[in-house]
Amino acid sequence: MAKKPILTTTAGNPIADNQNSLTAGPRGPLLLQDYQLIEKLAHQNRERIPERTVHAKGWGALGDLVITADISKYTKAKALQKGARTSMLARFSTVAGELGAADAERDVRGFALKFYTEDGNWDLVGNNTPVFFVRDPYKFADFIHTQKRHPRTNMRSPTAMWDFWSLSPESLHQVTILMSDRGLPISPMHMNGYGSHTYSMVNARNERVWVKFHFKTEQGHRHYTNAEASEVVGKNRESFQEALFGAIEKGKFPRWKLQIQVMPEKNAGKHWYNPFDLTKVWPHGDYPPIDVGYFELNKNPENYFQEIELAAFSPSNVVPGISWSPDKMLQARIFSYADAHRYRLGTHYEHLPVNAARCPVHAYHKDGPMRFFPAETGNVDAYYEPNSFNGAVQDERYKEPPMEISSEAADRYNHRDGNDDYRQPGDLFRLMSRESRERLFNNYADAMAGVPVEIIKRQVAHCYKADPAYGEGLAARMGLSARIHSSPVAV
């Protein structure tokens, strides 16, 4: 076997660890000095033009968020107070497909929401799944590469996808959801949405809690089988767009119930799972969902390009009372999304009408492409800060309480050490009916067509560790035999 070359940065510097971000302790947060993490994220944002690098194909509408419950003990966010009504924009999307891809493909769906609050824009950029394929942002660009076209064939590569997933056991939870019935909803209206990450809320007493956001469809869950989706795609590549646009035009306004899970700040280290791990859910038995309100989509855009294609969502946009957590993936996205928009739309993308805040904005960003608006600092002579010309100033009333972080040494901690990546996928499998399991195995088989058998064996072994019946069922469907032990599958 030929000797493998040493991985380096683009400047030729050898890389010692390409699996784990540099963090302050094993649970984070990230350190900005992790140059290669920033480099990978920034480079990925510039790999394709002009469409979005991921989530290129999307459908959207406008509506309102309505709060019906009192959660003021958790948050001081004005948009989340009982009786509040906030204008919003929603964009749904597929992850892997390009701008011209068919809507009805098996894929994770993006679920991006922009709320135009009186304290500025609040963006919640999630998916229709509560978890994701990776937990460390160091691996995000690598994962997305597997979803795009092979550099030689210029075709999607199932081998690349399954090779990566089978080498990344933390992906099994998301893969199980993707290969289940919920991996192919019939429309945006018939799927849930999730903030996915752990966020934080701060109340008027400056007390913090950790929180998960859930948006439960009120239209019910409906899904296609692969065969049904193939028939749909053969007739209409825009089935999601047609369904969403048509429903709103007919006055059948879709709704989603807003729920939150709330964890006391001090509970973060009390469970077998890391609450800041994007591949894990918080069991409802530990933290029951709390009803908060709903959002309704009741208006189609007048111009799709201006209101949906130019829309830019970023987890960096939070408002007083809502903030972040040590979730490594979330922290990377805080940088990566805004940077992607600066590249795709321009330096001042947040001044485009669809992205513009509907409250006063006072900032010191200067010049550059698309500088089509006047100074926002409060005085034309105040173009720096601090200044003596009545320019905008900070206000310590909006300071968040300090966040306690690990005092352990900064290092590249192996995120798989001591991490149970099989319990929750197994729990999900055990909830499935016999018919749902059969469809799960069939969906795996369709997705694995042409994949080398050694990669299939590796994936079956992960499924077996989650539940023996999971591994045995997949092995049988793939024409393999599974032995009842921890290293199953033999041809």
pLDDT at 483: 58
* CA–CA separation, 112 and 315 (whole Å): 10
The pair of three-digit structure tokens given for residue 55, joined into one six-digit string: 């989530």
Give residue 464's Cα distance to chain centre.
27
* CA–CA separation, 425 and 419 (whole Å): 13
Contact 63, 90 (CB under 8 A): yes
Q: Domain limits of the chain?
A: 22-361, 423-477
End-to-end CA distance of the chain: 24
For CA atoms 179, 180, 185, 189, the dihedral sign is negative
pTM across the whole model: 0.91
Sort residue 301 into left (φ over 0), alpha (ψ -120 to 50) or beta. beta
pLDDT at 491: 37
Over the chain (491 residues), what is each successive 10-residue block's mean pLDDT? 78 83 92 86 76 89 98 98 98 92 96 96 97 97 95 96 98 98 98 98 97 98 97 96 98 98 96 97 98 98 95 95 96 94 90 93 85 85 90 89 87 94 98 98 97 98 98 96 51 37
* CA–CA separation, 57 and 77 (whole Å): 32
Strands 199-202, 193-194: pairing is unpaired
What number does CATH give the domain 22-361?
2.40.180.10
Give the closest residue to 239 by CA, choosing from 190, 202, 195, 198: 190
pLDDT at 485: 44
Contact 121, 79 (CB under 8 A): no
* CA–CA separation, 305 and 109 (whole Å): 20
The CB density around residue 466, as the number of other CB atoms within 10 Å, is 23
pLDDT at 490: 44
- The residues carrying an active-site annotation are 55, 127
* CA–CA separation, 189 and 219 (whole Å): 6
Give the closest residue to 78 by CA, choosing from 86, 87, 90: 86
pLDDT at 142: 96
* CA–CA separation, 180 and 152 (whole Å): 31
